[in-house]
Chain A
Amino acid sequence: MEKQLSKKTLNKSFWLWFYGNLTCFSQEHMQTFGYLSAMLPICEELYAGEPDKLARSMKTYTAFFNTEPQIGAIVVGVTAGLEQARANGEPVDDETINGLRAGLMGPLAGIGDSLIVGTVIPILLGIALGLASGGSIIGPLFYVVTWNLFALLGMRFIYFKGYQLGGKAVEILVGEKAQAIRESIQIVGAMVIGAVAASWINVSTAYKMLDANGEVIVDLNNSLNSVYPKLLTAVTVVICWWLMSKRKISPTKVMGILVVVAFVGVLIGFFNPGLQY
């Protein structure tokens, strides 16, 4: 008789991945234990009473795994489907499964990092920041609800698509239509981040040129803002971008550079937060 994974087992496997993909993270094995725990209910159901086959299949998943864990749900779904095929005697071996896993890890990490962490989360956080002005609780609540719904439903969808369609399911994420959607969402991301930068970052200079009588001739901050509002903020962002992407300086070091810039700027009077008790 054909072996068929029950809905209950698949759900259990999905939730184990959803919750446990990174709970026992180490630099050496990364998501491997999350993967093993998500595959355990699958293998136990397929090979009940066959300890040899159970051992063989669990051994397959001891191979290293690491990707963007949320979009990686699709890989767990695909291997659940492959394992079921293997249990039914189809020609699926360790190499098929681990070749597929290794082949998908890199590209999916790239898509996941740029689309989810680099675009969707910043867009939702950007809107939430707007809603949180004045300390309103609507901002954080908006993010908690929209992000978790999006992530949970999205992960469930790709996990079960992966299980049903196998390797072909990856087309949903990397196909031409998916690419068109991705590029469109990235436009929203870039624009929202621009608006976030302009609304929330405030770099200004205190430099004023005075004449002999102490009258202000040039108020640098006002002059710059009349050229392009928030010019100094825009320039600071672009310089940070240039340091990181063209000079390959790490974010932590760029922060260190800014500390030096701030110190020198305060010394020569370019920056002055204008504090008093």
Chain B
Amino acid sequence: MEISWLQAALLGLFACLSSMPGLGGTTFGNYTLGRPLVAGMVVGAILGDLRTGIMVGAAMQLVYIALVTPGGTVSADVRAVSYIGIPLAMVALKAYGLDPAASDGVSLATGFGVLVGTVGTVLFYLTATMNLLWQGIGWNAIEKGNYKQIYRVNMLYPWVSHILCSFIPALIMCRLGAPAVDAIKMYLPMDGLAMKTIFTVGSLLPAVGVAILLKQICLKATDFIPFFFGFTLAASMGLNLVSATVIAAMFAFIKYEIKTAKLATKFAGGATDTDEEEDI
């Protein structure tokens, strides 16, 4: 599977829009176009294989299901994961002749994507550093009272950072990635140690994505109960995700009712207290 210059350029454009700090904005850029599941759909449409794109995106989404960037520290870069990793993973799947629906296909895609995403972190730091240039222009303009310049500093000049740090890397890596993947295939046969390791890593990595999320919501042992309740619903009882969500919503509803009932008694109690004091 080849990626043409035009296709690679389109992928580069989406890389500019989707990154953190992207030019599609936080909500629609980073948190929509940058999510691997959505990116899978976009990349699939660009490369002419929607189904494979979405399946690769879904596999990779799991690793980054809770990609939080507290205070601007990142552990992976979405533009690299989504618009370099996903297209190259699709190329690799085609090169090795694997089905994206099978578990080995999923593992290969995940392994490839995460590798690229981790390497891509450097793009984030380059973009953020380069933006300091534009901000320098901005501080000068504010000194002089030329406020209109703020709009250009905030929304126009960062395009230069992105052409250098998002567009060009995605363009080149996607265009030259396909021959590279073919070369890798020549030297690394699928039953060799290296490929077996890549596949195994691919099957283990989503656990990190889920664990990043658990780190935020599970502070003590009992916090794991809802997690394992959901896990059991799917693993042992075979419920799909929509059904599991409905059941979860019911529990959340009960919890909310109990909480608000407690609040109501607290306020009611408070009111009686003051009444008594007034009586005295």
Q: Contact size class for B?
A: 35 or more
Determine the chain B residues whose CB is within 8 A of the CB of A207 once the complex forms. none
Judge whether B75 and A25 touch: CB under 8 Å: no
Q: How many whole Å from B100's CB to the nearest CB in chain A?
A: 7
Judge whether B101 and A135 touch: CB under 8 Å: yes
Determine the chain A residues whose CB is within 8 A of the CB of B197 once the complex forms. 259, 262-263, 266
**Bound-complex Cα distance A191 to B201 (A):** 25
Judge whether B103 and A202 touch: CB under 8 Å: yes
Determine the chain A residues whose CB is within 8 A of the CB of B26 once the complex forms. 21-22, 69-70
Known: A126-B245, A259-B197. A187 touches B252 (CB 8 A): yes
Taking the complex as formed, is A84 at the interface, i.e. its CB lies under 8 A from any CB of chain B?
A: no
The tally of residues in A whose CB lies under 8 Å from a CB in B reads: 122
Binding site for B on A (CB under 8 A): 16, 18-30, 32-34, 36-37, 40, 44, 51, 54-55, 58-59, 62, 66, 69-70, 109, 113-114, 117-119, 121-123, 125-137, 139-141, 143-144, 147-148, 151-152, 155, 176-177, 180-181, 183-204, 228-230, 233-234, 236-241, 243-245, 250-252, 254-255, 258-259, 261-263, 265-267, 271-277
Chain A interface main SS type: helix
Output the residue of A113, A198, A234 with the most chain B CB within 10 A: A198
Judge whether A180 and B231 touch: CB under 8 Å: no
List 16 additional contacts besides A135-B54, A200-B62; criterion CB under 8 Å: A28-B135, A36-B150, A55-B145, A62-B139, A118-B68, A139-B58, A143-B32, A147-B31, A191-B248, A194-B226, A197-B210, A202-B106, A251-B75, A258-B207, A263-B193, A275-B191
Instruction: Choose the segment among B163-171, B174-182, B255-263, B271-279 that binds chain A (4+ C-beta atoms closer than 8 Å).
Output: B255-263
Judge whether B31 and A33 touch: CB under 8 Å: no
Binding site for A on B (CB under 8 A): 20-23, 25-28, 30-32, 35, 37-38, 40-41, 50-55, 57-59, 61-62, 65-68, 70-72, 75-76, 97, 100-101, 103-104, 106-107, 114, 118, 125, 127-129, 131-132, 134-135, 138-139, 142, 145, 147, 150-151, 153-155, 157-158, 190-191, 193, 195-197, 199-201, 203-208, 210-219, 223-224, 226-236, 239-242, 244-245, 247-249, 251-253, 255-256, 259-260, 263
